[in-house]
Each structure stands twice: as C-alpha cells, then as structure tokens.
C-alpha cells in the first residue's frame, strides 16, 4: 500500500487544493501516481456540495464556491484541520457506506485519544458530541467517488471562529449546533494531524 502523506504548513487556497486532487485522481486512474492523504488548512471560504439549497445561505454577501463533493454547504477557515485524500476503492471494498464508516472511525478514534467522546448520527453525516447539554457537530465529511476512486475528505473544528457559521445553515441542519475541540476540552492539539494520519493508515490496512 503506497500512500503519499502530504502535510502543508501554510494555508492552501481551496481551488488550488481541489485542482491538485482532481489531477491526482486522473493519475491514479491511469496507475501513474500513488494514493494520497493530505492534511492542511484553508483560508476563510464557504463551499457548497452537490446537495445544497439556495435558502441555506443566510448572508447573501458571502462568496460561495460550488464544488462537486457530496453534502451541502459548509465553512472552512483558520483553526480547522482538513484531511483530503485520493484513495482507490478498486483495491479495496467497493462499498461507499463502508468507506464512510472508515472515515467516521478515523475521526472518533482520534478524538477519543484526547479524551473526547464523539459519535455518528444515522440521519446526519459527520461527527457529533454532546456539549453544554446539546448535540453539536465537530467534524464534517464530504466525499465524491469517480470510477471507484474516492476523494475530497473531512474537516475537524479545532479552534476556529464559529461565528462564521452564522452566515449559513451548516450542512442544511437547523436544529443542531456547531462546536470545536478547544471549547469541548481546552488542551494542546498540536499533534492532531499526526494522529489523524496514523489512525487513517491503520484503518486502511484493516
């Protein structure tokens, strides 16, 4: 299993990252490149997946980038860890639900290492926690599969500015909140990227 691990220190523009993923997707399809796991951060941006609706944009002045990933509208920005991937499911189980379960396990296992109990919701994709007596989202997942090659990724809120979510209905969900790791448990998350990669590789090998 040859997977390139890429860790970007400086923020990467969303469109640049997407272009890189698309190129890698084509190369993997032609067996000309290794699979990829890429951890990074984006400057402030709102992105809309293929299932979003116009009424989920509350502040019409924001700049919105439409993308071909699944899911609805979300926010990316400083203080949020993004984990992108390009992984060939032709070499694994051709089961999208199983692959999403793998991503969920990567996130919940990683958060558990920080003493944070998180869980999935059968009705709403993503990872959730019970914080301040309310169910709140702490991680979002959005993928696309082309010729059984999965790409895009997931994001985990670490210490991002949650006020930005007031401009949208995040992931189209009105009755649940958004939180981040620092608010749940104020501790050092500097090794979060390494833990994500470690757990990702472990579950891919299983």
Active-site residue, from 82, 171, 181, 197: 171
- As a three-state string, the secondary structure of the chain is CCEEEEECCCCCCHHHHHHHHHHHHHHHHCCCCCEEEEEECCCCEEEECCCCCHHHECCCCCCEEECCCCCCEEEECCCEEEEEEEEEHHHCCCCHHHHHHHHHHHHHHHHHCCCCCCEEECCEEEEEEEECCEEEEEEEEEEEEECCEEEEEEEEECCCCHHHHHHECHHHCCCCEECCHHHHCCCCCCCHHHHHHHHHHHHHHC
Residue 171 designated active-site: yes
**Residues annotated as catalytic (active site), given as ranges:** 171
């Amino acid at each position: 299993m040859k997977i390139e691990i890429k860790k970007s220190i400086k923020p990467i523009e969303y469109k640049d990252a997407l272009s890189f993923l698309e190129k890698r997707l084509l190369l993997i399809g032609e067996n000309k490149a290794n699979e990829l796991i890429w951890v990074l951060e984006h400057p402030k941006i709102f992105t809309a997946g293929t299932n979003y609706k116009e009424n989920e944009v509350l502040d019409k002045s924001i700049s919105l980038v439409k993308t071909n990933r699944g899911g609805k509208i979300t926010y990316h920005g400083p203080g949020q860890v993004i984990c992108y991937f390009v992984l060939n499911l032709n070499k694994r189980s051709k089961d999208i639900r199983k692959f999403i379960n793998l991503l969920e396990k990567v996130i919940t296992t990683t958060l558990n290492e920080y003493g944070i109990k998180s869980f999935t919701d059968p009705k709403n994709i993503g990872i959730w926690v019970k914080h301040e007596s309310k169910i709140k989202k702490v991680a979002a997942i959005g993928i696309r599969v082309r010729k059984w090659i999965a790409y895009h990724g997931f994001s985990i809120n670490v210490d991002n500015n949650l006020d930005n979510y007031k401009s949208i209905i995040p992931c189209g969900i009105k009755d649940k909140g958004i939180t981040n790791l620092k608010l749940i448990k104020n501790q050092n998350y500097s090794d979060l990227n390494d833990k994500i990669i470690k757990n990702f590789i472990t579950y891919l090998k299983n």
